[in-house]
């Protein structure tokens, strides 16, 4: 199981690319708020968690599915 805690990357101004683990179970409160994320890489197993977290931003992200 992989979790990303509350405020884990909060306000990281250089964080534009993120690779999420296939075993992702949970993303904490405001974990990536105020980060300029543009590109994400992920497994389809984590897709629903990511969609829930990123919400309306989901469609503006460049996505690479790893499986």
Residue spans of the domains in the chain: they are 2-65
* Sequence-separated (6 or more) residues with CB below 8 Å from residue 12: 35
E strands, 1-67, in order: 2-4, 17-19, 24-27, 39-42, 62-65
> pLDDT (tens digit, 9 = 90+) per residue, 34-51?
999 999 999 999 999 999
| Mean pLDDT calculated for residue range 18-32 | 96
| Mean pLDDT calculated for residue range 30-34 | 97
Q: Is the pTM of this model over 0.85?
A: yes
Residue 1: pLDDT band with limits 50, 70, 90: low
């Amino acid at each position: 199981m992989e979790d990303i805690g509350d405020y884990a990357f909060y306000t990281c101004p250089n964080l534009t690319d993120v690779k999420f683990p296939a075993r992702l179970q949970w993303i904490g409160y405001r974990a990536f708020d105020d980060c300029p994320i543009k590109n994400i890489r992920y497994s389809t197993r984590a897709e629903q968690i990511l969609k829930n977290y990123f919400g309306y931003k989901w469609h503006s992200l460049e996505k690479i599915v790893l499986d």
